[in-house]
Amino acid sequence: MDSIDTLIIGAGALGLACAARLASPQRSTLVVEAEKLIGSHTSSRNSEVIHAGLYYAPGSLKAELCLEGRERLYAWCAQQQVAHRRIGKLLVAVSAAEHSQLDALAQNAAACGVHDLQALSQARLQRLEPALRGVAALLSPSTGIIDSHAYLQSLLAAAEQRGAQLVLQTRVDRLETDGDGWIASGSSAGEPFRLRAQRVVNAGGLFAQQLAQHTAGLASAQIPPLHLCQGRYFSYSGRSPFQHLIYPLPEANAAGLGIHATLDLAGQLRFGPDTRYLDSLDYRVDEQLREPFAAAIRRYYPGLDGARLAPGYSGIRPKLAGIGEPPADFLIQSPAAHGLPGLVNLFGIESPGLTASLAIAERVAQAL
C-alpha cells in the first residue's frame, strides 16, 4: 500500500487552498477529486465576490475568517496575478423602513471589524448609479470580484510547485485508522485503491458529511446535519447599467443575501442567487423563475427589461442550518474536537467560503 504524509479529499477552493498551504517538498501531499475537473461543484457555482464581511455574527468564524481571508485573498491575487477587481458594492435601501436596517447592518459590520463603509444619501446614490432606485445606501469599497477559475488554478499551481499531486476521478469512500495514521479506500478511474496517510483533510463540500459517516471512529454526534440550499442565477444580456455590485437588504429568513446584481471581470451582469432548500442535488434553473426574479430586481432597478434575463447556472450551499433556523457558523472540526489524530473535517463551508478559503487553510494547518 502506498503511504503519504497528507491526503486532501476534494479539489474545490478549500481542498486546493489547504493543499497550497500544507504541501512541502518534505511532506508528500495528494489531492483526490471525485470529478473529472477541479472545482466541479460549489467553487465554480457562486457569485465570485470577495466579501467585505458585513453580515456575519460578530465573533463568529465566518466574520473572523472572512476579514482575514479577504486580505489574504487580495494579497494572493496580486502576487499570483489572479484577475480580480476591488469594484465596491452598494447595499441599497428602497424604503424608509429599510433605511433603519442599513444602520443596523453598518453597526454589525463595525462590530465585525469592517470600518470602511460609507453611508450614501439618495442624491449621492443617484449620481453614482442613475439606474438604481433607492432612498439610501451603504458603499463597501473593500468588496471585490475574482475570477474563481483562475484562483483555483493558481492554488493548484502553488500546491504542485510545493510537490503536491492531484488525481482526478478518484473518490474516497471510507477512512479507517490503523493506529499509525489513516487508511483511505475508494475507487480511482473505476479501480479500487487503498492508501495510507498520516494526515487527512476532508474538504468534500456537499459530500463532507457522507464521507464523515464512513469515517471509522467518528461519533455520529460529531457529524452535523446537511441542508442543501440551492441558489439560482439569471444572466442579463446587454451592457450592464451598473458600475458596482448592487445588493438589496438580506433576506428576512437569513438564508441568502437577496437577489443581487454582480458583474464578472468581463463586465457580464448576472442576478441571483435566490434560496431554495432541496432534498437532493439539482442544478437546474427553471425558465419560469424569470417573473419572480424580475419582480425582485425591479424593487431596486425599476427599468429592468425582463426579456434580457435568461436562466443561468446555480450552486448549492452546504448549510448546517435548516429552514427557519438561525444561521450556522463554519465548522472546522479538528482532532481536539473529535479526538481522532491527524484528521480535519470541513463542514458547512457556504458563503463566504471562497473569500475565507486561505484563512480556513491556515486554521487547518494549525489544527494539524
Q: Using CB under 6 A, list all residues that contact ligand FAD.
A: 9-15, 32-35, 39-43, 45-49, 51, 171-172, 203-207, 211, 231, 273, 315-317, 349-355
CB of 174 to ligand FAD, least distance (A): 9
96 three-class SS: helix
Nearer to ligand FAD, 13 or 136 (CB): 13
CB of 62 to ligand FAD, least distance (A): 10
Burial (CB count <10 Å: 0-12, 13-18, 19+), residue 263: buried
| Closest residue to ligand FAD using C-beta atoms | 353
Q: 108 near 55, Cβ under 8 Å?
A: yes
- State the DSSP H helix or E strand holding residue 101, giving kind and residue range, or none if neither: helix 96-111
Nearer to ligand FAD, 48 or 129 (CB): 48
Q: Please state, in angstroms and rounded to a whole number, the distance separating the CA atoms of residues 162 and 296.
A: 47
Q: Please state, in angstroms and rounded to a whole number, the distance separating the CA atoms of residues 112 and 180.
A: 41
Helix ranges (DSSP H) in 189-289: 208-213
CB of 45 to ligand FAD, least distance (A): 6
Q: 290 near 234, Cβ under 8 Å?
A: yes
Q: Please state, in angstroms and rounded to a whole number, the distance separating the CA atoms of residues 109 and 86.
A: 18
Largest CA distance in the chain: 69
Nearer to ligand FAD, 294 or 349 (CB): 349
CB of 316 to ligand FAD, least distance (A): 5
Nearer to ligand FAD, 33 or 264 (CB): 33
Cβ partners under 8 Å of residue 76, min gap 6: 82, 151, 154, 358
CB of 170 to ligand FAD, least distance (A): 6
CB of 255 to ligand FAD, least distance (A): 11
Q: Please state, in angstroms and rounded to a whole number, the distance separating the CA atoms of residues 23 and 25.
A: 7
CB of 102 to ligand FAD, least distance (A): 21
Nearer to ligand FAD, 146 or 294 (CB): 146
**Which residue carries 484528521 as its cell?**
343
CB of 245 to ligand FAD, least distance (A): 9
Nearer to ligand FAD, 134 or 273 (CB): 273
Nearer to ligand FAD, 136 or 207 (CB): 207
Nearer to ligand FAD, 76 or 207 (CB): 207
- Compute φ and ψ for 6, nearest 5 degrees: -130, 125
The type of residue at 324 is G
Could you tell me the CA-to-CA distances from 32 to 42, 133, 168, 200, 234 in Å, in that order?
A: 16, 48, 6, 11, 32
Q: End-to-end distance of the chain based on CA atoms, in angstroms?
A: 23
CB of 254 to ligand FAD, least distance (A): 15
Q: Please state, in angstroms and rounded to a whole number, the distance separating the CA atoms of residues 30 and 28.
A: 7
User: Residue 320, CB half-sphere, CA atoms under 13 Å: how many?
Assistant: 18
Nearer to ligand FAD, 128 or 228 (CB): 228
